[in-house]
Chains A and B, each alone.
Chain A
């Protein structure tokens, strides 16, 4: 009879990671809502549309332009949350679990690339962020971290897909 100890460990650890992912999803969603609403709230408070040359116009414009990044980040974490949920339920080498992980990796890669392009344009145009001028070294570090994480997640998804193929083959044999 097969030893299910390993599967039990996977299910327990997935439960913890799903809980953590849940909180990250909440945080990312909150950040997304704030990013989307901030310019509107700003305009409502000042009761007028800012002139295109004013700093307020620039802030509003760049805030909205940054919006795809939190969207991608949020989508990646939602996919990870669902993935851990499926692992917790015992669906390890399952097509939907694998696709969830793969999608999360792709969103993470897309987010890292988008953020880098966005920050690079800001750097070229010399447009400061809320925390001061754009530091290209910090942005490159974020890009490398995002690329490594995204690639690792995609690799893990391919490994799971390999396991899924084996499981399907085994079922066919039995």
Chain B
């Protein structure tokens, strides 16, 4: 008889990670809602006070760049939550489980690419060299930003884990066919 101790451990830890994923979702939802509040309602409440200043970026610009990042972050954590929920239910080498992890990895990659552009644009707008805002400066900031590879490595690790699970899924399917 097969030893199910390992599967039990997977189910237990998935339960804990499911809660963490839920917290990640909630945090990104909060970030998105607060960004929308800053972008749409705050200008009305403050009657444009801080938004009329000529210096960029103002709160509204920051909010508009934060919102898509929060949406992408929410989708990544939602996929993780679904993945851990499925693992917690015992569906380990299952098509949808693998697909959830792969989707989370792809969105994480998309989030990294988006952050490259949004952070570069924000830094470009923040720089005080008003007369020297050239495209070459934008490229320089972009190159500096591209060197921050943490997001890319994280996405690659998630995609690799998804491919490993797919390999396991193939084995599981082959085993079922053999039986």
Q: What's the Cα separation between A10 and B167 when bound, in Å?
A: 9
Q: Is the CB of B93 within 8 A of A163?
A: yes
The listed residue (B2, B10, B156, B178) touching A159 by CB distance below 8 A is: B10
> Is A7 touching B167 in the complex (CB atoms < 8 A)?
yes
B170 x A13 contact (CB < 8 A): no
Instruction: Tell me whether A13 and B165 are in contact (CB under 8 A).
Output: no
Q: Is the interface of B mostly helix, strand, loop or mixed?
A: helix
A169 touching B175 by the CB < 8 A rule? yes
Q: Does A16 contact B (CB under 8 A)?
A: yes
Count of interface residues, chain A, beta-carbon cutoff 8 Å: 32
Return the CB mask of B10-34 against A: 1 if under 8 Å, else 0. 1001101100100000000000000
Give the residue name and chain of the B residue nearest to A16 (CB): B156
Within 8 A of B (CB), among A132-151: 148, 151
On chain B, the residues within 8 Å of A92 by CB distance are 164, 167
A14 at the interface (CB under 8 A from B): yes
User: What is the CA–CA distance of A2 and B173 in the complex, to the nearest angstrom?
Assistant: 12
The smallest C-beta distance from A30 to any residue of chain B, in angstroms, reads: 19
Contact partner, A155, options B17, B93, B157, Cβ 8 Å: B17
Give the complex CA separation of A105 and B161 in angstroms.
Answer: 14
Question: Is the Cβ of B175 less than 8 Å from the Cβ of A166?
Answer: yes
Q: Are A93's CB and B10's CB within 8 A?
A: no
Judge if A160 is at the interface, Cβ distance under 8 Å: yes
Chain B residues engaging chain A, CB cutoff 8 angstroms: 2-3, 6-7, 9-10, 13-14, 16-17, 20, 87, 92-93, 149, 153, 156-157, 159-161, 163-168, 170-172, 174-175, 178
Identify the A interface with B (CB < 8 A).
2-3, 6-7, 9-10, 13-14, 16-17, 20, 87, 92-93, 148, 151-152, 154-156, 158-163, 165-167, 169-170, 173
New A-B pairs, 16, CB < 8 Å, besides A152-B17, A173-B175? A3-B170, A10-B163, A14-B160, A17-B153, A17-B160, A92-B167, A93-B171, A148-B20, A151-B16, A156-B164, A159-B92, A160-B168, A166-B168, A166-B175, A169-B175, A173-B178
